[in-house]
Structure 1
């Protein structure tokens, strides 16, 4: 009887110690989300006229679901990038166009989500639209997916042009039939942007900004966007007609992970 009591007491002591340890580490694990540096702003606070269609807040992207870290459909950028984009918008409005952003600052956790998806070769649910001609095993080797993104530094954005007056874009319905992003504009998912030759986030060499197969109005549209933004300090990624980075970057070596949310700006607009 005495031996059983001792064993019982030992078990109770061990369980109590385990519970105490669990309680002591939980607050650290559930700590507050990181905040953005003071030089980050919402694009809307700098230029409310630029359209925003934040694709990674929605399931209409190459993964097929909302991406980790996108808590709100809001464009966040470093102030220098946002102010340069505002100058571009003023020039384009006079020509009958508006800018539309698909993505801006992107947290590292979102990039990690992309990597996990790319490693899951069984998940091909969005192939029909976003990478119809590319084998998923090639996404890393061909540079479509990487473990780090310039978007996480805060001065990179994905952007297009919309002819004014801007027509609405209907919502994407998960599970609807997919059309290749390289198909003619009238066949692709309806987007109110001008015809750039491919859809946004199209994993295909046809998305290369100066691909010689893209001619006529499509090439003119790409060059209008490119010339306007590069004249104000942005640099285009040659493999993606929609991808621009403002230079010099305020945070060239830092990859942030605060959520895409107004709360990340600590009370700022």
Structure 2
């Protein structure tokens, strides 16, 4: 009897854990620029666990973020998310990377040794991102998508002036820093006010970092990969 050839079906990602959603399924109008899925980040490579440039959040955080987006859209603006849920394996990857040591990096950490990034509080050995209700983001003009390189941090993807780019590990990134210009300070205040109104709190060391105050998993960290579907 002839044997039929074995046909392997394409692999499908496992369903998201209960309570998690892909942001695009809640609000596809929010621009996504997920940095750790590519090369434009302080690692200069993809982080472990990022199999797609996709924002995943808890349903509560995604819905709250959508309310902020509606307020931005009314002003001709849009949110741009740089990181959302972060697998625990990515956090461990970043920690291991810092321990390899090295000199400052002019783009990402211009005044700090690589091995001191954890001690200085710029990279955490644990991260609220792994709880699924933390997001790193900025605001951009709706019709502007050009990419420029700020003095420190990520290419801005057409964002408004915030004084630094995302993941600039420097005192200028502190939300209330006096080292930035008036326009950047005003834009930070606008982002802060909009996020607070939707129930998010800011991490004072990073103007871009916000966590939902009433997060559903305050003591639980997750490690499923970031996938497109």
Q: Same fold (TM over 0.5)?
A: yes
Aligned to 1:52: 32
Residue 166 of structure 1 pairs with residue 137 of structure 2: no
| 1:131 equivalent in structure 2 | 109
Unaligned runs of 5+ in 1: 1-31, 171-177, 183-187, 264-269
The gaps in structure 2 that reach 5 residues or longer are 1-11
Secondary structure of 1:89 counterpart: helix
Could you tell me how far 1:222 is from its partner in structure 2?
Answer: 0.5
Which one of 69, 75, 81 corresponds to residue 95 of structure 1? 75
Post-superposition offset of 1:245? 0.4
Please state how far the C-alpha of 1:145 moved relative to its aligned partner: 1.7
SS in 1 for 2:106: helix
The residue aligned with 1:3 is none
Q: Where does residue 64 of structure 1 map in the other structure?
A: 44
Please tell me whether the aligned partners of residues 98 and 116 of structure 2 are also in contact (alpha carbons under 8 angstroms): no
| Alpha-carbon distance in 2 for matches of 1:73, 1:113 | 17
Answering whether residue 171 of structure 2 is matched by residue 205 of structure 1, we say yes
Q: Distance in 1 between matches of 2:77 and 2:146?
A: 15
1:37-89 deviation line (CA, Å, top 9, x unaligned)? 21100000000000000100011100110010000111000001000000000
**Structure-2 change in CA distance of 1:103 and 1:148 (3 Å):** same
For 1:116 and 1:226, the matched residues in 2 are separated by: 32
The size of the alignment, in residue pairs, is 218
Contact 1:35 1:258 survives alignment (8 Å): no
List per-residue Cα deviations over 1:211-234 (Å, max 9, x = no partner). Answer: 122241101100111000101100
Higher CA-based Rg: 1
* Aligned alpha-carbon RMSD (Å): 2.0
CA contact (8 A) 1:34 1:257 kept: no
Following the alignment from structure 2 to structure 1, what is the Cα–Cα distance between the partners of residues 138 and 28?
16
Structure whose residues are more often helix by fraction: 1
* Distance apart, 1:190 and its partner CA: 5.3
Alignment partner of 2:184: what SS? helix
- State the distance in 1 between where 2:158 and 2:196 align: 23
User: Is the CA contact (8 Å cut-off) linking 2:48 and 2:90 kept in structure 1?
Assistant: yes
* Superposition deviation, residue 141 in structure 1: 1.2
